[in-house]
Amino acid sequence: METSKKTGFDSKKINEFLLSYALYIILGAMILVVIIINPSFLSISNFTKILTQASTRGILALGAAGMIVLAGTDLSAGRILGCSAAVSASLVQSTTYASRMYPNITNDLPLLLPLLASIGVALFFCLINGFGVAKLKLHAFIVSLGTSLIAFGVTCIYIDSQAGGAQALSSYNETFLNFVNGSFNLLGFEIPHLIIYFAIAAVVMWVVWNKTTLGKNMFAIGGNPEAAAVSGINLTRNIMGVYIMAGVLYGIAAFLEAGRIQSVNTGTGLNYDLDAISGCVIGGVSFSGGVGTIPGVIIGVVILQTINYSLSFLGVNPYLQYIIKGLMIILAVSIDVRKYLAKK
Amino acid sequence: MNEDNNFEKINEVNELVDNDVESEVTKKENAEVSKPTFRTNLYDKIDVSVKTMDIIIVIIVVLIVIFLFFGIYQSFS
């Protein structure tokens, strides 16, 4: 009797564990299957490629995570990245390239200028989002959907305004390409610069989230805005702060992404927002607000990139990849909802 | 005697007025505090049991496994 009682308790515990960690179990099993089918997947070069690809999306996700912690979302991150990337790409085109957007620029600009331009563009759109959410009390979903379309329109007009018509912005100067795509040797391993930039962004964001008043206020507002307001937190100022932070990160991500893909067109940034949001959700940032960690976001983004990479590595039909990724996002949210309901 | 009664009545009325004013103030304060500055928690509106969520999670997991195996099978056939 006692044994069955004990077994019952254990099976309940096991069920609980399986349901709570279903996503990670599936991902682990999936990676295991990929390794069994093709053992060459388990190599340093593949791991480096996954991290490099995850870095720009990771920086984007670090920005979007703040909005999710505020119980909102950002559907415009991808299109904002596209617009900022177009602006920075046009400013870093090689001066020897005949079809460059600005033929009047005859010397390579210092990299700080295109970076600031990229951040400026991203900030502009994020401030619109922030104003809509903080001041007009609109839902982040609607405001960011609007700015997403505006950013896309602006990108199309900007790219279309070239003398040669709507052609992709490519052929960048060497300094920029080295800055983004370069690598350095550490104990015999080639470490790409992009991974370092991602690591720096993650450390800075960890400090902002955990050691500053803005970070603490952000969690308080996300958890319970009314209680935060009553306890004297200035909602508008703090929400705007989170959006400004996101704008800076989007701008940096756009600048780096332009260099990584080496050709920016109107399609750049498409679905990046969904990748960023799903990375956050997989990493444990709750849509209910007030819950999330920077290590979680990083793990989420890397896991998502590993799924993308391993499915492509096995040659799985890209249309099926969309379905699998979509299901995984729904699974992550379902697990989050279940946790919330169980706690209630 | 009459004066005493009047005095008591006045006191009672004053107390009632004070209470009313106090309750009005409290009401106003409460209204300000509970003013919906933001939407309520997204998940509060979900009206399902934990058991239903468990079933949903299991269904999604099964779907993912099916699509994964189908995808891998398709890529190798």
Question: If you write DSSP's letter for every residue of B38-62 in order, what string do you get?
Answer: SPPPGGGG----HHHHHHHHHHHHH
Kindly calculate the radius of gyration of chain B based on its CA atoms and give it in whole angstroms: 32
- Determine the pLDDT at residue A130: 95
Using DSSP, how many helices (H) and how many strands (E) does chain B show? 2, 0
Whether B38 shows a pLDDT value over 50: the answer reads no
The confidence band for B47, taking pLDDT boundaries of 50, 70 and 90, is: confident
Q: Ramachandran region of residue A178, left (φ > 0), alpha (ψ -120 to 50) or beta?
A: alpha
Residues of chain A with pLDDT under 50: 1-2, 4
CB < 8 Å from A in window 15-74 of B:
33-34, 37-39, 41-43, 46, 48-50, 53-54, 56-57, 60-61, 63-65, 67-68, 70-72, 74
A69-92 pLDDT per residue, tens: 998 999 999 999 999 999 999 999
pTM of the prediction?
0.83
Q: Would you say A100 and A94 are in contact if contact means Cβ atoms under 8 Å apart?
A: yes
- Determine the pLDDT at residue A106: 86
Q: Which residues of chain B lie closer than 8 angstroms to A71, CB-CB? A: 38-39, 41-42
The confidence band for B22, taking pLDDT boundaries of 50, 70 and 90, is: low
Closest to A221 (Cα-Cα) out of A205, A206, A202, A243: A243
- Determine the pLDDT at residue A262: 92
ipTM: 0.76
Report the residue of A16, A319, A320 to disrupt the B interface, i.e. the one with the largest count of B CBs within 10 Å. Answer: A320
- Determine the pLDDT at residue A6: 53
- Determine the pLDDT at residue B41: 64
- Determine the pLDDT at residue A253: 96
A284-332 pLDDT per residue, tens: 898 888 889 999 999 999 988 988 888 888 888 999 988 988 898 888 8
Whether B61 shows a pLDDT value over 50: the answer reads yes
State whether A320 and B67 contact (CB < 8 Å): yes
- Determine the pLDDT at residue A101: 86
